[in-house]
Chain A
Amino acid sequence: MAIPLEKLDSCRWLIPKKGSMRVPGLLFSTERLLQDIRNDQSLVQVCNVAAMPGIVGYSLAMPDIHWGYGFPIGGVAAFDAEEGVISPGGVGYDINCGCRLMTTSLRASDLSGLMQTLVTELFKNIPTGIGSTGSVRLSRKDQDKVAVEGAAWAVKNGYGEPGDLNHTEDRGTMDGADPSVVSERARKRGIDQLGTLGSGNHFLEIQVVDTLYDAQKARAFGLFEGQVTVFIHSGSRGYGHQVCDDFLKEMGNMFPIDTFQLPDRQLVCAPLSSDLGRRYLSGMACAANYAWANRQILMHWTREVFQRTLQVTPRDLGMHLLYDVCHNIAKREQHILEGTAMTLCVHRKGATRALPPKHPQLPDTYRTTGQPVLIPGDMGTYSFVLAGAAAAMQHSFGSSCHGAGRVLSRSKAIKLSKGRSIHRELEDKGILVQSRGKTTLKEEMPDAYKDVSQVVGAVHDAGLATKVARLRPLGVIKG
């Protein structure tokens, strides 16, 4: 079914309100990216989200949008805090899947001859892969503390420095977490997965700062050309998946299917004002905190591996957290809508918050620059650092894209990779890869994703966030 689009300008397209849509859709994209977007059902999903109760403004689609389940991946939707709903599908199974970028004092030349050893050591010491378990042993009480305190728990227990929390979204702790709403099944799935990278599109990547677009902001972010950086992409693992699954089932039981037809059952939801809605938000906060603790621990181990392998002191390594962002989350935020200040519940599923300069929620370090927005590319191409800009608050509820976005299904990617050695192709580009899964590299090959430069270009041109730096991969570990 072709969804009609009206071009507003070079990077914004309107999906007019029709049928059961309560608001129009708004897609941020270039003409070129639109060709890929039209190949799957993502725009249908934008329209479906627009039909949900209490939605305000637009059903938004970022340039990396692709077909998800219920909400599209790369979808943003805001709901009135009093009359709107919360939808677990609008957050996603991997609650607080997100990424963090670390800067170092090293230059790429400092790793000359050591890259292979470094990648191998990271692969040995960072648990990756399907069903991987970590070395962090949690008692039930500890697990509850992780759920409430998030990254702060990790720092308190020796995984990192207090300063890391200043540069983590929400300081790595989401308020309102209540472990009593988390099921035994979620606890069981998460008990031995803290400090694990995961599989699929999760990764840890060593990079070099390849290009600076904004020297002033780059300096404020601590970036310089030729600098070694490290990118981590991971989430809440089985804990978050089970929390989402449990609440989808519970909301499914309660949803009044006789009076309200959902266009997609994965969009099941509950009023924000209801007990069920509040319990989901508490459970979601637990999973979000678990993910922040997870990424904090992964960063700590990365620091240790670098120090040990390169035989440098922490001071000489200088590995600092630039920022940590989530891209699967729902948050209560203040926004101005048609001149009126409103409290909204903003769902971001495969989308990143992008706060502009002077926003009160920014740490002091970034008040003049805007929030760092971290956009990982696929493993064969660049990642980008951007800075949140004013237009994001006006047009996208302070949101930006989260990555490159898939264009190929996993089975198509595997077919396309027949007869090719993805490992060798990446090596030829100077990128060393170690992965655990046999099909991971094929499924995650660069051809399976959109051109991240185009995605970032669309975000930049739309004014949602401005380009600061481009990062080129040197070594990657994947599950």
Chain B
Amino acid sequence: MFSTPPIPKPVRGRPPFFLLCFPQKRQCPLSSFSLLSVNHFAVCTVRKNNLNPLSLADDNRRRIRYHSAVDAREPKYSVLEHTADLGLRVRGETLEQLFVHAAEAMLHCMIRVEPFEPVKTVPVGLDGRDWEDLLVRWLGEILYWFQGEKRVTIRARISSLSSRRLEGMLDTISYDPTHQEILCDIKAVTYHQIAVLEQNGVWEATVILDV
């Protein structure tokens, strides 16, 4: 998943960007764009003009509202207030979707990415004690690939998920500071107030990240 550049204020009745769907990732011929990947769809946005940066929470909520191919109206995550760290509340219709959304949320807050370069796919297999433990390990894995291996995840996929085991794939590209901007230095995924709950048919997770 890529973070998007600052977007124009929404104009009533008309989204301020073009939506293009590619079955596979390729170099987009348009200049000045960024890519958001949701499950197996690629959604391109074109930056219309430059704006002053928004606050972190506002900016990310607006990006999700306009860029989610899953549900354009319902934000996938929101930022929680925490004195020293970063809190996220993430939603999904299924647990698999929740875990993917959590990965996207963390990456969305962490890094702004310009495409592309050869993608390296990393298999992930994790054991955990319960959903919460698995979620922390899943996000921690993505974070390690960035912090330790200098590889940015651009798409996170879950192939199998139970309360004790997760298997998935991370599509990653090399970290390149000339084309990628770190928005927030996320150093660890904590267990503090970690929660994975189902409410009214929607799965919701709370996770606090050490910054």
Contact = CB atoms under 8 A, between A and B. Distances in A.
B183 A439 contact: yes
Interface in B132-156: 132-133, 137, 140, 144, 147-150
A12 interface: no
Instruction: Determine which residue in A68, A415, A437, A438 has the highest number of CB atoms from chain B within 10 A of its CB, and name it.
Output: A68
Interface string A263-294: 01110100000000000000000000000000
Contacts of A407: 83
B129 A409 contact: no
Given A266-B191, A411-B81, A418 B210 contact: no
B210 A130 contact: no
A252 B191 contact: yes
A396 interface: no
A9 to B, nearest CB: 27
B208 interface: yes
Contacts of B48: none
B120 interface: no
A67 interface: yes
Interface string B159-201: 0000000000000000101000111110111111110000000
A268 B149 CA distance: 27
A242 B188 CA distance: 8
Contact of A264 (B83, B183, B193): B193
A238 B210 contact: no
Interface of A is mostly: mixed
B83 A411 contact: no
B133 A252 contact: yes
Nearest to B146: A131
Contacts of A188: 148-149
B93 interface: no
B81 A69 contact: no
Interface residues on B, range: 35 or more
Interface string B82-123: 111110000000000000000000000000000000000000
Instruction: Determine which residue in A67, A265, A408, A414 has the highest number of CB atoms from chain B within 10 A of its CB, and name it.
Output: A265
Contacts, number: 108
Given A130-B182, A131-B175, A188-B148, A266 B84 contact: no
B55 A69 contact: no
A40 B79 contact: no
Contacts of A89: 191-192
Contacts of A249: 137, 140
Nearest to B140: A245
Interface residues on A, range: 35 or more
A126 interface: no
Contacts of B181: 438
B57 interface: yes
A257 B132 CA distance: 13
Nearest to B193: A264
A412 B58 CA distance: 11
A437 B183 CA distance: 8
Contact of B83 (A67, A94, A438): A67
Contacts of A418: 55
Contacts of A410: 56, 84, 86, 184, 211
Contacts of A244: 188
Given A131-B175, A264-B193, A200 B211 contact: yes
B175 A185 contact: no
Contact of A265 (B53, B82, B140, B194): B194
A73 interface: yes
A347 interface: no
B114 to A, nearest CB: 16
Interface in A355-396: none
Contact of B82 (A67, A131, A238, A414): A67
A89 B85 CA distance: 14
Nearest to B181: A438
A171 interface: no
A48 to B, nearest CB: 10
B192 A411 contact: no
A437 B132 contact: no
Contacts of B53: 438
A411 B185 contact: no
A93 B187 contact: yes
A411 B88 CA distance: 12
Contact of B185 (A69, A200, A245): A200
Given A93-B210, A131-B182, A414 B55 contact: yes
Nearest to A92: B210
B137 A411 contact: no
A257 B81 CA distance: 28
Contact of A266 (B56, B133, B137, B190): B190
Contact of B57 (A130, A264, A406, A411): A411
Given A185-B144, A189-B147, A242-B148, A409 B192 contact: no
A418 B54 CA distance: 9
Nearest to B191: A265
Contact of B210 (A40, A69, A264): A69
Instruction: Determine which residue in B86, B148, B187, B189 has the highest number of CB atoms from chain A within 10 A of its CB, and name it.
Output: B187
Contacts of B82: 67, 409
Contact of B129 (A248, A252, A438): A252
5 contacts: A70-B192, A189-B144, A248-B191, A249-B140, A437-B185
Given A68-B84, A73-B84, 4 more contacts: A130-B185, A409-B82, A410-B86, A411-B56
Which 7 pairs of residues, A with B, have the shortest CB-CB distance?
A69-B192, A265-B191, A67-B83, A69-B190, A266-B192, A130-B185, A266-B191
